[in-house]
Chains A and B, each alone.
Chain A
Amino acid sequence: MATRLTRFFASRWGIILAGAVIGILAALLQQAGNPPNMGICVACFERDIAGALGFHRAGAVQYLRPEIIGFVLGATIAALGFREFRARAGSAPIVRFLLGMFAMIGALAFLGCPWRALLRLAGGDLNAVLGLAGLTMGIAIGVQFLKHGYSLGRSYSARPAVGWIMPFTMVGLLLLAVTSPEFSQDGPIFSSAAGPGSLHAGLLISLSAGLLIGILAQRTRFCTMGAVRDVILMGDTHLISGGAAMVVAALVTNLLLGQVHLGIRGQPVAHSSHLWNFSGMVLAGLAFALAGGCPGRQLFLSGEGDGDAAVFVLGMIAGAATAHNFSLAAKPDSIVEGVVAVGGLSKFGMGAVAIGLAVCLLIGFSMREKR
């Protein structure tokens, strides 16, 4: 039975099922209260968690998102159930931390991870097209490095504690979310009163959706970066059929729920500064490709015992704090007296994307195995 299930989840129908479920649940989560075109966004939600813990003080984006907790714990449950939980680590963790930081800075220049780019498209936000083009470009650069021997080196089996730190951290965050203690006056745990952080579905709904997605994605290895990479690298359309299923399922559900608003200017939690939508995602795509997974995939890996993926996740959370503390994250378009004011990046944000690209290229060139 377990073997047959494993073969099904490894099949094309398995990955299509996972993508479709993620797309439908994302649209439903938006209906249930999550921010518009952000039913699920791994980067945004990790940023919200960083805010809830007070690592940054951007008041509009602070909330302990239960979806993220569910992703990790769902993957842990699936990995344990199928005897795949294996503690491992040791593949250039500090490089992965840095890649995580710059991946987040790039994603916050666009305002979304690859999942949200697909969901924004499914909600009619055409800025997502440039984001996805940038993502593809970044991954294509990463593929060139892979073809020329780029490698972060081997990981090794580790003591069980290495694998369990991330799942237990998530249990800790869940306890904080449920009890919401106030550690000091005007201190964490923060929860936005206005803005995207204030928009959320109920805790149990978010957590359940996260767990289901975590289980499915762990079994099918759903990965939006891998989807594009495998097509470019070897014409393999397995993973991308999951991404396509996600867009189609989200689009259909959005249409049924009246959540599609076609346009470019003034889209929800988005900006129409084209160059930086594109460039931000080039940086994110390159960083994901060099680290071997999109933000979602890194969470699922961290749930099945991968200590290196866990370090990438921590890097992303540190990157979110950096982005908001140093005004690197993009400002969304806003409507002032009925006129759309185009948002985008500060000069610091632009500089950070440029530095990020330079650092990622340096990592790509320097981390090569001579063959």
Chain B
Amino acid sequence: MESIRMDNVVDARGLSCPQPVILTRKALESGELLVEVLVDSVTSRENVRRAAEKLGCRVQVAEMDHEFKLTISR
């Protein structure tokens, strides 16, 4: 599997809603097939998950130390 380039990674840690969702949508709309989103609150995790699922994407979540990595794929 090709390693993920940096522009596939959205670092939304510390940003309050709706910014994590806006950044995720921008990344997905730019045509990326696989986007990784880093967030540091459950609220952002749920918001990004909901927005991505609404766009028909699959979402996998990994938790590490109060931070979450969402792997979003088309």
Task: Give me the interface of A with B, judged by CB distance under 8 Å.
Answer: 6, 10, 82, 84, 86, 88, 90-91, 146-147, 151-157, 221, 226, 229-230, 233-234, 236, 238, 292-293, 308
In the complex with contacts A6-B42, A86-B41, A233-B18 CB distance below 8 A: yes
B42 touches A151 (CB 8 A): no
A-B contact pairs, 11 of them (CB 8 A): A88-B14, A91-B14, A146-B19, A146-B22, A147-B22, A151-B19, A226-B18, A233-B18, A238-B50, A292-B16, A293-B16
The answer for the CA separation of A341 and B40 in the assembled complex, in Å, is 52
Task: Give me the interface of B with A, judged by CB distance under 8 Å.
Answer: 13-19, 21-22, 25, 40-43, 46, 50-51, 54, 66
Question: What are the residues of chain A within 8 A of B22 when measuring CB–CB?
Answer: 146-147, 233
Which of A221, A230, A234 sits near B25, CB closer than 8 Å?
A: A234
The answer for the CA separation of A308 and B41 in the assembled complex, in Å, is 15
B46 touches A10 (CB 8 A): yes
Question: What are the residues of chain A within 8 A of B51 when measuring CB–CB?
Answer: 234, 236
Question: What are the residues of chain B within 8 A of A82 when measuring CB–CB?
Answer: 42
Question: What are the residues of chain B within 8 A of A90 when measuring CB–CB?
Answer: 14
Which of A10, A147, A152, A233 sits near B16, CB closer than 8 Å?
A: A152
B41 CB, min distance to chain A CBs, angstroms: 7
In the complex with contacts A221-B43, A234-B25, A238-B50, A86-B66 CB distance below 8 A: yes
The answer for the CA separation of A221 and B46 in the assembled complex, in Å, is 10
Question: What are the residues of chain A within 8 A of B54 when measuring CB–CB?
Answer: 236
Closest 8 CB pairs of A and B: A154-B14, A292-B16, A155-B14, A10-B46, A221-B43, A84-B42, A156-B14, A154-B15
Question: What are the residues of chain B within 8 A of A226 when measuring CB–CB?
Answer: 17-18
Taking A90-B14, A236-B50 as given, write out 16 further A-B residue pairs in contact, using a Cβ cutoff of 8 Å, ordered by the A residue number: A6-B42, A10-B46, A88-B14, A91-B14, A146-B19, A151-B15, A154-B14, A155-B14, A156-B14, A157-B40, A157-B66, A221-B43, A221-B46, A234-B51, A236-B51, A293-B16
The answer for the CA separation of A6 and B68 in the assembled complex, in Å, is 16
B8 CB, min distance to chain A CBs, angstroms: 16
A169 CB, min distance to chain B CBs, angstroms: 22
Question: What are the residues of chain B within 8 A of A6 when measuring CB–CB?
Answer: 42
A155 touches B42 (CB 8 A): no
Closest to B67 in A: A157
Closest to B11 in A: A154
The answer for the CA separation of A293 and B19 in the assembled complex, in Å, is 13
Closest to B13 in A: A154
The answer for the CA separation of A252 and B60 in the assembled complex, in Å, is 41
A311 CB, min distance to chain B CBs, angstroms: 13
Question: What are the residues of chain B within 8 A of A229 when measuring CB–CB?
Answer: 18
A361 CB, min distance to chain B CBs, angstroms: 20
Question: What are the residues of chain A within 8 A of B13 when measuring CB–CB?
Answer: 154
Question: What are the residues of chain A within 8 A of B41 when measuring CB–CB?
Answer: 84, 86
A137 CB, min distance to chain B CBs, angstroms: 18
